[in-house]
Structure formats: C-alpha cells, structure tokens
Amino acid sequence: MTTRSLFLLPGDGIGTETMAEVRKIIAWMNEAQGAGFVTDEGLVGGSAYDAHGVAISEGDMKKALAADAVLFGAVGGPKWDNVPYDVRPEAGLLRLRKDLALFANLRPAICYPALADASSLKPELVQGLDILIVRELTGGVYFGEPKQITDLGNGQKRAVDTQVYDTFEIERIAAVAFELARTRRNAVCSMEKRNVMKSGVLWNEVVTATHKDRYADVQLSHMLADAGGMQLVRQPKQFDVIVTDNLFGDMLSDIAAMLTGSLGMLPSASLGAPDPVTGKRKAMYEPVHGSAPDIAGEGIANPIAMIASFAMCLRYSFNMVAEADRLEQAIANVLEKGIRTGDIMAPGCRKVGTTEMGDTILAEFKALSA
C-alpha cells in the first residue's frame, strides 16, 4: 500500500482548532479509502517556545524535512509579544520556509458563488473571481542581510532591513507563474516597484527575459505594486496570475483574501523545486490567516482555509486530483446550503462553529465520494 507521510504543525491560537477539522478528514480518508496517510505531529510557534524555548525544535525541523508534506496551522499571539526576536513564534514559520527551500507560495483567491455577498466589494466585482497570487517566499526583505538595529550612540537607533534578489530567484518564481498560467487563463501580471527599488528594476528585467525566452505564448503585463493593490480592489477580475516578491505578495494576498469574503477562506501551498532524481517537491500547506488571538479558544474560527489548504496538499503533493476536486466541491456545497461561520455570516444563513463547519464539510465530502 502507498504510504504518504504528513507532518502536522497546528501551532497556536485557532491553528489548533482548524487543524482538528483536517485531522478528521485524514482519518476518514485512511479508513474509508485506504489513503495511507501516516501522520506525525510537532510544535511550532508559541507552543514550541513554551515547551522548548525555541520557535521550532531541531527534532521537529528534521521531521518536517523528512515528510512528504507539512500541514501548518498558524502561529503567534500576544502571549509571546515580548519573547526574544529570534525565537518569536513567526521565526518558526520563516525557518520552515527557508530550510525547506519553499520558494513558491501559491495563494489562490477564489470567490465561491455563495459568498459574493460576504465580500467588502460589490458582488458583481467579485462574483466568479479566480485569481492566483504567486508570492516569492524565501528571498527579499524577509531574509536579506544585514537585518539589524544598531545603537548610534547619540540617543538614536538605526534599523536596517535589506531587500535582496538574485537573478535565479526571480527566474524560478517567474517560471512557476508562467507554468501555472498555462493551466488557467494564460495571463501573468508581474508586480514590483521599479520606480524606486533596484530590486524592482531587476525583477522586471528578469521576468521579461524569462517570458521572451521560454513563455512567449503567455500574456505578460507589468504593474507597479501600489497600483496593483489599487487595481485589485477596483477591478479584481482583470487578473489571472499575479507574480510578486515576498513582501508585496504578503500584503497583496491579504487584500485578495478579503475580496473572497474573509481571511478565513484563503488557503496556500508553499512549494520547493522538484528533486532532480525523484521529481518530488518539498511542500508545506498553510492558510493565509494567522492565529486570530481575538477569537482563539472560542470555537468559532472558520476552518475552510485550513481544509482548502489540505485540498491543495492532495493536489500538489500527492496528485490526488479527484479527491482534491471533491473536497473543494464539498466546501462549495456547504456554503451553497447557507452554512456559515461568523466571519462569513449573512442574513438567512445558519451560523455554526468550527467543529460543526468541519463536520458538515466532511459529511458532504463523504457523500460526494460515495
């Protein structure tokens, strides 16, 4: 029997609550479908800090590196606001991305038909929305050196973060965007700020050259990232694939998330390069949202982003395309039936908590799989 190894890192806050719903789906797929998932679990973020004094232990890093795929919940929270910078909860997430070399972060923003009313934009602007943000994830200002605060000795301090991109980093993320565009509506919009940043100049140059050399069949446009943010809320359906750097991708994907109704809806896949021998990619699947300290522990978080992240895992790590389609369909059907967590609640709908939303999606998934 095929075995598929999954390493679960629920993390903090609502990360643990939403991961519980994915665990049920995994258990059912093993039982009823012989899916062969072998799971192990670890600690990341504040929960790892409380247990080990670090944001992720070496043992858990090893397990993450060895697994076929990692499922990540969320990290962070006010409890750890004052821990040393190097061991703050977010450092665990950044280390996973860097050490697993997950340079390509795919953040689809799809507006389910039933949720057009939950968006902060007019329904006609988001109805049918299906865009994919391809965010560079292991470079840029997140990781560039120097990154420090120095005391200038005159009562002043100086903080430095460094935005760095090499040609190969831009080329490989552009290639991912072009490849994915070919499976969709064949259009890529690249966003940077070449008007003020040297890294933007190189970004634009390399994306243009990669397009000309290898992907001339794909439609390519360029936008300054600030204008891109404006266009995302003005006319979001003009976009198919957006490719952008680590920081702009972080911000633009939160904007895109709200177009779909709630941050609680947006999944993501973080992928490495295929192994030259086995063709396998390292991968981690994580919702775009954080640990939501304002609602953590209340049992009301929306588990859809986490469940949809697992659907992406089925699709990208295990090539279980039919199962991924069915799980996404199950989510759509449940929304269609008017079942809602608080963040996407609308008049006439039935409000449920995290567990009931998870159970209802699982029941629908079972029905579709029968």
* Active-site annotation holds for 343: no
19, 26, 258, 288: residue in contact with ligand IPM (rule CB under 6 A): 288
- Which residues contact Mn ion by CB under 5 A? 250
Question: For residue 14, what are the CA distances in angstroms to 176, 216, 254, 290, 341?
Answer: 31, 43, 18, 8, 13
Q: Which of 49, 63, 68, 193 is catalytic?
A: 193
Q: Strand, coil or helix: what is 40? A: strand
Nearest distance, CB of residue 70 and ligand IPM, angstroms: 14
The residue from 99, 226, 325, 359 that is catalytic is: 226
Judge whether 254 counts as a catalytic residue: yes
**Residue nearer to ligand NAD on the CB measure, 320 or 334:** 334
**Closer CB to ligand IPM, 76 or 303, in the complex:** 76
Among residues 35, 93, 252, 271, the one that binds ligand IPM under rule CB under 6 A: 93
CA distances to 23, 133, 246 from 223, rounded to whole Å, are 41, 14, 16
Question: Residue 8 corresponds to which amino acid?
Answer: L
Span from 86-94, 193-201, 340-348, 352-360 in contact with ligand IPM (CB under 6 A): 86-94
Distance of CA 67 to the CA centre of its chain: 18
Residue 90 within binding range of ligand IPM, rule CB under 6 A: yes
Q: Which of 142, 215, 285, 316 is catalytic?
A: 142
Whether the CB-CB separation of 220 and 191 falls below 8 Å is answered with: no
Q: Which residues are annotated as a binding site?
A: 77-90, 97, 107, 135, 226, 250, 254, 290-302
The tokens for 356 are 């009931």
d(CA 90, CA 56): 10
Q: What angle do CA 137, 170, 318 make, to 5 degrees?
A: 50
Q: Is 130 in the site for ligand IPM (CB under 6 A)?
A: no
Tokens of 194: 């070449």
| Segment interacting with ligand IPM (CB under 6 A) among 1-9, 88-96, 154-162, 202-210 | 88-96
Residue 197 Cβ vs ligand NAD, minimum distance, rounded to whole Å: 24
For residues 182 and 113, what is the distance between their CA atoms, to the nearest angstrom?
24
Residue 291 CA: distances (Å) to CA of 158, 308, 332: 30, 17, 24
Residues catalogued as catalytic: 142, 193, 226, 250, 254
